[in-house]
Amino acid sequence: MGGIFCYIGTQKAPHIVMEGLQKLENQDYDSAGICSVERNKTHIRRSKGKLENLSRLLAAVPMWGTIAMGHLRTATHGRASEINAHPHKAGPVVLVHNGAIVNFEEIKNSLQSDYHTFKSETDSEVIAHLIEQKMYAGSGFEGAVRAALLELQGTFSLCLVSETEPGTMIAAVHGSPLFVGCAGNEYFIASEMQPVLDYTSEIISMKDGEMAAFKDGSVRVSTI
């Protein structure tokens, strides 16, 4: 499965996310990665192995911004490698994903016939490309996410950002846990509750079929 820890607020997000990932290291994982948003650009660092490898990479090539997403991966679809590590990016869309998409091969084949090129062996990258396609067809970020998720069969907890809407983060769940910690205009999103409790006691446990949009210091929860 893996672990997710994300942050959107006013503080240095990569630092907070790395702290959060450290609190998830009780899980068995084989790679780690992080994405930050600066202005309208996303920056991704990924590494095979333990979190200390990613920490060394960040020390050499720092990241900034007040929005970031982190992930610890346990290999399911695709071997343990840097290229299969999360976050995954397709066009402007970047995501981290826990769960398993049953019909990813069918969707991937359809996207490949429509000139999408995949870099990894994962089912998770397929979700990013599907959302990108919906956006290319004219949907906004949130609408594209909702439309894409309705086509998925399987389980997911997701956090997503897009370079088209750099101040927004979206989270969604179906059959995989995700918790949101609220602290004023800051939000902490994680696959386990305990790491979030270290920052705030105000917790939202997202329910199956829910999607949360974080923007301008507020959160709006709706159904997929």
pLDDT at position 162, please? 98
Task: Give the three-state DSSP class for 1.
Answer: coil
- Tell me how many domains the chain contains: 1
pLDDT at position 173, please? 98
**CATH code of the domain in which 96 resides:** 3.60.20.10
Separation of alpha carbons 156 and 7, rounded Å: 19
Per residue of the chain (224 residues), what is the pLDDT tens digit? Answer: 689 999 999 999 999 999 999 999 877 789 999 999 998 999 999 999 999 999 999 999 999 999 999 999 875 655 666 788 989 999 999 999 999 999 999 999 999 988 999 999 899 999 999 999 999 999 999 999 999 999 999 999 999 999 999 999 999 999 999 999 999 999 999 999 999 999 999 999 999 999 999 999 999 999 99
pLDDT at position 45, please? 97
- What is the residue range of 141's domain? 2-223
What sign for the dihedral angle of Cα 138, 90, 147, 217? negative
Separation of alpha carbons 189 and 182, rounded Å: 9
Residues 6+ apart with CB under 8 A from 110: none
pLDDT at position 75, please? 59
pLDDT at position 81, please? 67
Separation of alpha carbons 217 and 93, rounded Å: 21
Three-state DSSP string of 51-82? HHHHHHHHHHCCCCCCEEEEEEECCCCCCCCC
CB 131 within 8 A of CB 145: yes
pLDDT at position 114, please? 87
What is the DSSP secondary-structure string of the chain?
A: -EEEEEEESSS-HHHHHHHHHHTTTTS--SEEEEEEEETTEEEEEEEES-HHHHHHHHHHS----SEEEEEEE--SSS-SSTTTSSPEEETTEEEEEEEEETTHHHHHHHHHHTT----SS-SHHHHHHHHHHHHHTT--HHHHHHHHHTT--EEEEEEEEETTSTTEEEEEEEBS--EEEEETTEEEEESSHHHHHTT-S-EEEPPTTEEEEEETTEEEEEE-
Task: Give the three-state DSSP class for 46.
Answer: strand
